[in-house]
Amino acid sequence: MNRNKIIYWVFTGFFAFSMLSGAGMYLFNYEHATENFTRLGFPVWLILPLAFAKIVGIASILQNKSPLLREWAYAAFFFNLALAAGAHVAAHDGEAFGPLLVLGAMLGSYFYSKKVSHEKA
C-alpha cells in the first residue's frame, strides 16, 4: 500500500468512526442528544433524520460506487460539521473543537481520496 492510500485510510477511518459514533449517540442516547440540540437551538425532530443521513453518507463514501453520491455526501458532511462548530461557538460552550477536528479529518479524507483515485487512473 502506498503512502497516500495509508493517509487516506487514516483520515477516512477516523472520520467514519466519528460520524458513526455521533449517529449511534443520536439513536441510543436520544435524551442526551435532545438536551444538546435544545441547548444549541436546533429542533429535536432533526435528530433521527440526521442520524440516518450520517449512516447513509458514510456508507456512500466507504463503498465508492457512485462518484456523484460520494461528492454529495462529503458536501453534506462539510455543512453539517461547519454548522455544528458555528453553533457551539455561538452558544459559547467551548465544544467547537470536536466538530472542527472531525471537519479536518473529513477534508483530509476528501483530498486524499482525490489523490488516490488519480493514482489509479
Whole-prediction pTM = 0.92
Instruction: Name the nearest CA neighbour of 54 among 101, 11, 21, 83.
Output: 21
- Domain total of the chain: 1
End-to-end CA distance of the chain: 16
What would the mean pLDDT of 6-24 be, rounded to a whole number? 97
pLDDT tens per residue across span 83-98: 999 999 999 999 999 9
Distance, CA of 121 to CA of 108 (rounded, Å): 20
Grid look-up 443520536 returns: 26
Mean pLDDT of 32-39: 95
Residue 64: pLDDT over 90: no
Range of the domain at 69: 3-120
For residues 46-65, average pLDDT: 96
